[in-house]
Amino acid sequence: MTLSFFDQFMSPSLLGVPLMALALTLPWTLFPAPTPRWLHNRLLAIQNWFIGRFAQELLLPLSPAGHKWAMLFASLMLYLISLNMLGLLPYTFTPTTQLSLNLGLAVPLWLATVIIGMRNQPTIALGHLLPEGTPTLLIPVLIIIETISLFIRPIALGVRLTANLTAGHLLIQLIATAAFVLLPLMPTVAILTGGLLFLLTLLEVAVAMIQAYVFVLLLSLYLQENV
């Protein structure tokens, strides 16, 4: 029973062929295609409003040089929300519970912000490694600490998203299993457990959206330091 709780995080396969690529491309088919009409349908209007508000709030503290990332951040936000939300459906697989995938998203984007900072303003980018007014004896130690913290950033991005989604999925499966076992023994307790499971599912929907927002928000903060 303990091992079966973690079976949901295994990459699905058909006849020995991994279906990770299919799970990653499926969300794109759910997005409504833009139309040349002046009046859109409700779904497309809501999507355009959401993208506009999100881009406005996210890029507000950035300089005009960072506004070039608006399309990338908005697309990544919608993509992560779609992957996280689809993973809450029964008999589905959540690709964002895989640390390798999250690191594959976090490391290139973080590295792009660092390269931009080193190319455009190398003095300011390197100045973040040594705060102003540092005593002479602490300079080597602080440089090492700040360098380590810089390289930990993409790891923290990937681990945060993976841990939150994995913990939520495990908790949902544990409570659902408890409700199923208690149903023939103590129906009242099982019904109360089912109500708790419903509330937890609503919480996981919020977590799926919040974690996608936090992932993109931290990337924008890293970009803000380098533009």
Q: Position of tokens 């409570």?
A: 175
Radius of gyration for the alpha carbons in the chain, expressed in angstroms and rounded: 22
Read off the tokens for 71: 């399309």
Would you write out the chain's pLDDT as a tens digit for each of its 227 residues? 444 666 666 776 666 667 777 777 777 776 766 667 766 677 777 877 888 888 788 877 777 777 888 888 888 888 898 888 888 887 778 888 888 889 999 999 999 999 988 888 888 777 777 777 777 787 888 888 888 988 999 999 999 999 998 888 888 888 888 888 888 888 888 889 888 889 998 999 999 999 999 999 899 888 888 87
Backbone angles phi, psi at 35, to 5 degrees: -120, 155
DSSP calls for 181-194: HHTTT-HHHHHHHH
Distance CA 182, CA 98 (A): 32
* 58 and 220 Cβ atoms separated by less than 8 Å: yes
Whole-prediction pTM: 0.82
Check residue 155 and give its pLDDT: 93
The CA distance from 177 to 104, in Å, is 33
Identify which of 127, 27, 144, 147 has the alpha carbon closest to the alpha carbon of residue 87. Answer: 27
Find where tokens 């004896």 sit.
Answer: 137
SS3 category, 202:
helix
Beta-bridge mates of residue 121: none
Quote the pLDDT of residue 1. Answer: 46
Domain boundaries along the sequence of the chain:
7-226
Q: CA 86 from chain center: how many Å?
A: 13
